[in-house]
Amino acid sequence: MNAKRDLHSIAKNDKILNDILERVAALQTLTAQLKAFLPEPLNAHCWAANLEDGALTIGVDNTVWMSHIRALTMDLLRHLRQDPRYASIRQIKGKVQLFDKPRVAKKSSPALHNISSENAETLQALAEDMDDPALKAVLERLAKRHADK
């Protein structure tokens, strides 16, 4: 038996757990509605955090997305009210909810590879003929990366 089915079997005998599961399901459905209406990439950063007393709270993961939600509030309200389940929504609020994401080690920059002596000589010759001082300096630095140091 899977865990979801076990949870629902237990919830049948526990009113509080059943209410919680129903609320989670309702918020998931509302989140799907939000994501379908909101443009990308905004929709990937928003979710229905709460719906209580005619006020929908939309969670976002940073303040930039909150600004976008505020700009779309009236359009979003009109859209949601077309669905009878959400006709009672009178207000949309936003809340920035920062979550501690697991820290991922930054990838180290790839090791600078040495170049062959032949390529180093070619780069040095190009640098000597270069009129642009910035490009000349770059070519000279690259030429110093030969393997026969």
Q: Can you give the pLDDT of all 149 residues of the chain as single tens digits? A: 455 566 666 667 777 777 888 899 999 999 999 999 999 999 999 999 999 999 999 999 989 999 999 999 999 999 999 999 999 999 999 999 876 554 444 554 454 567 788 878 877 887 788 777 777 777 788 788 876 65
47 domain-assigned: yes
Tell me, what's the pLDDT at 104? 47
Q: What is the pTM of this model?
A: 0.60
* One domain for residues 91 and 42: yes
Q: What is residue 100's predicted lDDT score, i.e. its pLDDT?
A: 58
Same domain, 21 and 86: yes
Question: Domain of 143?
Answer: 113-149
Residues 73 and 125 in one domain: no
In a domain, 14, yes or no: yes
Do 87 and 24 belong together in one domain? yes
| Residue 120, CA atoms < 13 Å, CB-side half-sphere | 13
